[in-house]
Amino acid sequence: MIDRYLLRYFLAVIDRGNFSRAAEACSVSQPTLSVGIAKLERELGQQMFRRTNRRIELTEAGARFAASARRIEAEFLIAERTVQESPARATFRLGVLATIPTTLIEDFLVELRRQSSTTRLEIVEAGERDLNERLGRGRIDAAVTLLRGDRSSGIPLFSEGYSLAMAADHPLAHLSVIAPEQLADNVMIVRRHCELLSETSRYFTAHGVRPFFAARTTSEDRALALVRRGLGVTVMPDSFRHPGVVRPALADFGFTRTIGVVFAPHADAGEIERSDVVQALRQTLGTPAMVG
């Protein structure tokens, strides 16, 4: 029989990323936590973590055990709250792709409140790769992210293309379609979280365009503000809108993306699909107006 404190140590290492922070979260010393993890591995007969000088990674056995550990710990918490006669309040850990416009997330939150939802929502914003890793480790329950490859089986919300973003007073702003050669003398802004960063670079290089990069940012709102103030132009998904920014098409740039909800392996897919969180996402992000 596995003691609960060993599960807590194990999950803390996953959530905190290393043994020292996990020990702090569990209010024990690092040696105590290390001994506990070693005991858990002996009882299971499997190594849970792969330890290197730089990071702690789950082994395949550890990743499989993580899903069960999450469920067991959740049941412990529900049982404790029941005994204490305090109603359990579910926490929905939702990952959100960093390249989804803030306005869409605002609309989703407004709808969730309108539904008088009692769900306690935790939002984790990250890039696509980080979200996939968090899903696999059970650190989030679901994610609003790209549907492609092994993630194509999620719930689709909307699809869209990509276009230029430039200031409304830009000399080319009156055009509906702009050829890459017309941007040869333009200044560009790099969106570091862009899922098409490599493809966009190759596109301009193939057309002989090698612009000066005035800024590199991980913030989509910052990128739009810089564009609006005339610092440069950039390529963004069509759903991004901002006063003072126009969105002309980029000639022969046919890339598209589909955004949807992806479930973590440990999650009950049916339960999450029926949740008020997913219903609010469908109501706001899944509207026909958002489809490119």
Q: Are 29 and 20 in contact (CB under 8 A)?
A: no
In this structure, the dihedral spanned by the alpha carbons of residues 7, 13, 15 and 21, taken in order and rounded to 10 degrees, is 130
pTM score above 0.85 = no
**Mean per-residue pLDDT pooled into runs of 10, the chain (292 residues):** 88 89 90 92 91 80 89 82 62 94 95 89 94 90 88 83 97 96 93 93 93 94 96 96 95 95 87 91 75 35
pLDDT at 248: 97
Report DSSP state, residue 233. B
**Based on C-alpha coordinates, what's the Rg of the chain?**
23
Q: Are 69 and 7 in contact (CB under 8 A)?
A: yes
pLDDT at 291: 36
Residues 6+ apart with CB under 8 A from 35: none
d(CA 263, CA 245): 35
pLDDT at 152: 57
Helix (DSSP H) and strand (DSSP E) numbers for the chain: 10, 13
Sequence-ordered alpha helix ranges (H) in the chain: 4-16, 19-26, 30-44, 60-83, 102-114, 128-137, 197-206, 220-228, 269-274, 276-285
At 191-217, the pLDDT tens digits run 999 999 999 999 999 999 998 999 999
Q: Which amino acid is at 51?
A: R
